[in-house]
Structure 1
Amino acid sequence: MFGRLVQAAGRGDAVARHELFSVRGHSVAWAFPLLLLVGITVADVTTGAFQIISWTVLVPGVAAAMCGVWSTAVLAVLALVVYVFADTVWQHREETGLPGLVLVVLGGFIAVLAAAVRVGGEQRMLHMRDIADTTRRTVLRQHPAGWGGLDHAAAYLSSDTEARVGGDFYDIQPGPHGTRVLLGDVQGKGLGAVEAAAALLGTFREAAYHESDLATVAERLETRMRRHRELTARLGRSDGDRFATAVLVGFRPDLPDAVDVVDFGHEPPVAAGPGGVRTLPVVGGLPLGMSDLVPGQAVTVCRPALAADETLLLVTDGVTECRDSEGCFYRHADDITRAIAADPSDTAPARLVALVREGTLRHCRGRLSDDTTVFAVRRRGRPGGG
């Protein structure tokens, strides 16, 4: 909960703000400006020292920042009525006169216009977000529980408030040669990065199913990234030099206590179990799309052990490069170690992902500098499953 509130405050998300001012699905944003109007009225009636009633001009201004157009208009009219009553009915002090009345009327009119502009902007932003969410769901498909014989969980956070999409990607592909897992991060942001991620995922889903050798799957991904770069370059686009870091993992049915891993210049996977947290010993290679820097270099497939009760955690640099206000990096492995020591059930993929997600948001106070993906998988039915 803390992470969601911090993220909402940091991004200024319209939906999150509406949720904060809602009770059982109904907006109560009007309550604060109404209470302000009541407070001004009571202060004016009880003191009479100076013309506090003129402060009613603040009421529609506050309403414009948090209420809808009609609510703002109603509060503006209500503030005007209270002001007129103070001058013509209560008369416990000298009348404020025409200048004060014009101020309240003009303030209410401007507040209604400001509310209309704000609401229109929020609606456009929400429309863009819906389009972006649809794009993201198309690229990052959902997986049913136990897909590919794996328990899994994922969290994706975009650093772009309006677009909500970036170059992070992940997928699980079961097949006759075992289940393959891919997580990666395309360099750059925007639709160009999404397009490159979609191209890589399309190739992964086919190659991971059909190819028996994980090294061949890796080679197919490298070829696809280079073809995509060539296409964008020939189209004259400025993003023709994109590359992607990634981790490709193979779960083979004949290797129940190990995994095959190909690292394309990405943060190595972390194994989390009741015994602690460790980084898998893998050899890092070049990012996808950069094999031309070292022609003829063979793909290195590592085979580290993965205990029966360990969960594999994969993250993008939105986690590893997350900084606090003092510039210190977030050490997610330390958080995981402490949490598992207190409760070994935190190794479950869903709980592990939630732990890292909330820790990342808390560390940077919701101000994400890059798209962030947290992805955890483990063999289904292993000890400690849940």
Structure 2
Amino acid sequence: MAVVVVVDVAAGSSVGLLPVIALGPAFGGLVGGWRRTVFIGVVAVALCCALGIYDGLFEGRRGYTALASVVGVTVASLAAAVARQRREAELADVRSIAEVAQRVLLRPVPRSAGHLRVAVSYTSAVAEARIGGDLYEVVATPRGVRVIIGDVQGKGLAAVETAAAILGAFREAAYEAEDLADVGERLQRAAERAVDDEKFVTALIAEIRPEGRADLLNYGHPAPVLVSADGALSFPEPPEYAPPLGLTVGAERPLPFPVRLGPGDQMLLYTDGVTETRDSAGCFYPLGDRVAFLQEADLDAALESIRADLVQHAGGPLHDDAAMLLLRHREPHGTRPSGETS
């Protein structure tokens, strides 16, 4: 509006810039609230009247036409600003509800569970989203620490509902089931009730005991990364993969398989959103080559390093949800790596 005033005074009324003052309230309605829009509109009308009188435009129709344009745009911008503020308030309410849903569905995992130290990282592929189809949980029980990580096929609310059903079944079974096979059987039944339309859930569940043994059940999920205290790397796979949850009707009951997880060892569980992330050349993320990040004393810092490297590898936002769960067996006699705190 200031530019219009300067040009109009300098060049005279022949330029015909007076109606352009309406751009002030137009942009004001896009970026400000209704009060700011009204203020800018009042200023625009005042400038229009002043320039119209200065240029002698109110002696004919031209000045009134310009004034009507400014007033009309101001009224339209005011209506748009009010509607936008109402939608922003509704969005804020929805986000508050989403945050509550996040705390119910994906509760913060304990930093310490039995003999394990735990850290988690979750990156949603949906902008502004907090939750999606990936799921995880850590439960300390008298039989050991029981863990699940999973990935629901599909997106949106249907995937979130399925994830909630699987997590609810796991949280109940983790405390009550006698062994890991019983936990898996309860998850199968929950998935059969919750999943339809040939959807499925890949999942990996584990039972980790203090004496250095862990049992795993893999339902079509990516194998975990096992890093021993001396830095040796392995991807323990089952003798035979079980079908994903939801596709197990009529399948034989899968049996857990053992792995060693002793003092100083680490296990990284993740969803396929991590390993299937591609760079601009179409190359998958080389998770096995990033084990050096796991040597950091702070578990949260280690996962954040991998997450940042993953986003850099993708060159932008991820195209799929990516969840990571890092478990580190405490050092013997309560010692821990330098810099690690309780």
Q: TM-score higher than 0.5 here?
A: yes
The Cα RMSD (Å) is: 3.4
Q: Summarize the Cα distance change of 1:45–1:243 in structure 2 as closer, same or farther, 3 Å threshold.
A: same
Q: Summarize the Cα distance change of 1:243–1:365 in structure 2 as closer, same or farther, 3 Å threshold.
A: same
Compute the displacement of 1:296 (Å). 2.1
Q: 1:353 aligns with which of 303, 321, 324?
A: 303
Amino acid at match of 1:333: L
Q: Distance in 2 between matches of 1:121 and 1:277?
A: 54
Instruction: Map 1:1-386 to 2 at 5 A.
Output: 37-42=1-6, 44-45=8-9, 50-52=15-17, 54-89=19-54, 91=55, 97-161=63-127, 164-229=130-195, 239-255=196-212, 259-271=214-226, 278-283=233-238, 284-292=241-249, 295-303=251-259, 305-306=260-261, 308-323=263-278, 326=280, 328=282, 331=285, 333=287, 336-337=290-291, 344-345=295-296, 348-364=298-314, 367-380=317-330, 382-384=336-338, 385-386=340-341
Compute the displacement of 1:221 (Å). 1.9
Please state whether the residue corresponding to 1:242 is helix, strand or coil.
coil
Q: Summarize the Cα distance change of 1:201–1:383 in structure 2 as closer, same or farther, 3 Å threshold.
A: same
8 Å CA contact retained: 1:308, 1:382: no
8 Å CA contact retained: 2:124, 2:321: yes
Q: Summarize the Cα distance change of 1:321–1:60 in structure 2 as closer, same or farther, 3 Å threshold.
A: farther
Q: Distance in 2 between matches of 1:188 and 1:312?
A: 27
Q: Distance in 2 between matches of 1:298 and 1:244?
A: 16
Q: Summarize the Cα distance change of 1:222–1:275 in structure 2 as closer, same or farther, 3 Å threshold.
A: same
Please state whether the residue corresponding to 1:108 is helix, strand or coil.
helix
Compute the displacement of 1:366 (Å). 5.2
Q: Summarize the Cα distance change of 1:178–1:338 in structure 2 as closer, same or farther, 3 Å threshold.
A: closer
Amino acid at match of 1:69: W
| Superimposed CA distance per residue, residues 245-270 of structure 1 (whole angstroms, 9 cap, x where no aligned partner) | 11112221111xx5332221112222
Q: Distance in 1 between matches of 2:164 and 2:129?
A: 16
8 Å CA contact retained: 1:54, 1:104: yes
Please state whether the residue corresponding to 2:15 is helix, strand or coil.
coil
8 Å CA contact retained: 1:179, 1:251: yes
Q: Summarize the Cα distance change of 1:78–1:354 in structure 2 as closer, same or farther, 3 Å threshold.
A: farther
Instruction: List runs of 5+ in structure 1 lacking aligned partners.
Output: 1-36, 230-238
8 Å CA contact retained: 1:200, 1:221: yes
Compute the displacement of 1:160 (Å). 4.2
Q: Summarize the Cα distance change of 1:207–1:80 in structure 2 as closer, same or farther, 3 Å threshold.
A: same
8 Å CA contact retained: 1:277, 1:336: no
> Identity, % of aligned pairs?
33
Q: Distance in 1 between matches of 2:8 and 2:113?
A: 66
Q: Summarize the Cα distance change of 1:72–1:306 in structure 2 as closer, same or farther, 3 Å threshold.
A: farther
Compute the displacement of 1:170 (Å). 0.8
Q: Distance in 1 between matches of 2:231 and 2:69?
A: 66
Structure with greater Cα Rg: 2
8 Å CA contact retained: 1:332, 1:359: no
| Superimposed CA distance per residue, residues 324-382 of structure 1 (whole angstroms, 9 cap, x where no aligned partner) | 5x472551627835756xxx42x632113323333444455654433332332323454
Q: Distance in 2 between matches of 1:349 and 1:150?
A: 11
Compute the displacement of 1:52 (Å). 4.6
Q: Summarize the Cα distance change of 1:162–1:354 in structure 2 as closer, same or farther, 3 Å threshold.
A: closer
Q: TM-score, normalised by structure 1?
A: 0.72
Q: Distance in 2 between matches of 1:361 and 1:45?
A: 53
Please state whether the residue corresponding to 2:149 is helix, strand or coil.
strand
Compute the displacement of 1:182 (Å). 0.9
Instruction: List runs of 5+ in structure 2 lacking aligned partners.
Output: none
Amino acid at match of 1:298: P
Compute the displacement of 1:196 (Å). 2.4
| Superimposed CA distance per residue, residues 283-324 of structure 1 (whole angstroms, 9 cap, x where no aligned partner) | 24321122236x325324241x44644543332233333345
Q: Distance in 1 between matches of 2:271 and 2:6?
A: 55
Amino acid at match of 2:161: E
Amino acid at match of 1:299: L
Q: TM-score, normalised by structure 2?
A: 0.80
Compute the displacement of 1:243 (Å). 1.6
Q: How many residues align?
A: 330
Compute the displacement of 1:173 (Å). 0.3
